[in-house]
Amino acid sequence: MGERIDMDSQLPPEAQQAPSASLQEGESTSLYYDREPEDHLPGGSPDDLSAFPQAEAAFLSSQPLPQVPAHPPLHATHPLAPRPAPRRRFPVLAIVCITALIALTLGLLAVSVFAYATPQFGVSTATHPPARLAPTSRPPTKNQPKGGATPVPTMTPLPNTQPADWVPMPLPPGWTNANLSTGDALEAERTAMTFTDREMSLDYRAVGTRGQHGGTLTASVFILTTAARQRFQQNDVRVVDTVLFDAVERSQLLQAVVNGVPHLVQFQVQNQQQFAWVDVSFQLWQSRLDPQNAGQHLEGKNSDPATGQPRTHHMLVLLVRVPPGTQGANAPMGGTGWLVSNYALDAAAGALPMIVQPA
């Protein structure tokens, strides 16, 4: 082989400087150009192209590769800044569904609470015990028997148990002129009512002894004036003899005042004393031995033989005024201002107990 031809000397001057100039001006080589690996070369140094004269001529005669502008790396100015996370948008449909579900749950809860908070009530008779009704907004179905028969009533109105009004309206003539009030009138009626209950109620188990009557036979004495107590011992059938005592013992009598109502009827001032008349209407409930069946008792209200209906009795009570608070700590009726001076049972119509002195 001949001498190696220096091809560089034969190239024009601008071609000789172009490759070196392109490597010095650019910051980096082409990104699309890679050199072959060293072990694929047939011999010599990696940069020795003498073995491939055609390739060497082709390489040297080619134009320089265009320079690819270098781009700065992403986030070059802030290399450590974190990348913002993408926003997650909550679907509108999911929000609507959740809201509707909550509203439906609250509605069902409210209906359940109000349905159980308003139970139904009714009044039933003793033969028809009250049924337990399930709470519902619809009225209960009526109990209609088959065959067109009249339905059996399951509810009956309660009887009128409102007691009679004791408040005297109007007050008797002269009452307010004597500086007495409605409260004084009520206390007079209360005293007369208490006397009637004590005088007319009897219990064979509490009557004292045959020689010394006591118990229910003398229960009304505490409310009498001093003079009225003396008249009681002389005139009242409870103590003048043993007729009533023996009858109560023999019949095992229990007698109680029921449905008593006092009514202030008259007022009078005499000898600087104030007197008030009170009419107490009442009935008597009795229990006694049955004379036809030994060991058995007859019970019920005392009846009028003519009508067979419960008999209404009248106790007319004459009261005398005693200044309130002047009878000491243990005064009868609490010392509210009235004591019994006289009385009469079932007197003739219009007849009133007379004023007796000393009252």
Instruction: Give which of 263, 158, 248, 239 is closest to 205, Cα–Cα.
Output: 248
Mean pLDDT over the full length of the chain: 74
- Could you tell me where the beta strands, DSSP code E, fall in the chain? 202-203, 254-270, 273-289, 297-301, 313-321, 338-345
Mean predicted confidence (pLDDT) in 113-129: 38
Domain coordinates in residue numbering, the chain: 180-345
Mean pLDDT of 40-51: 41
Q: Does residue 209 surpass a pLDDT of 80?
A: yes
43 burial (CB, 10 Å; 0-12 / 13-18 / 19+) is: exposed
Residue 25 has pLDDT above 50, yes or no: no
Q: What per-residue confidence (pLDDT) applies to 96?
A: 76
For 100-140, give the secondary structure using H, E and C: HHHHHHHHHHHHHHHHHHCCCCCCCCCCCCCCCCCCCCCCC
The CATH-assigned architecture of domain 180-345 is Roll (3.10)
Q: What is the pLDDT of residue 161?
A: 55
pLDDT of residue 163: 63
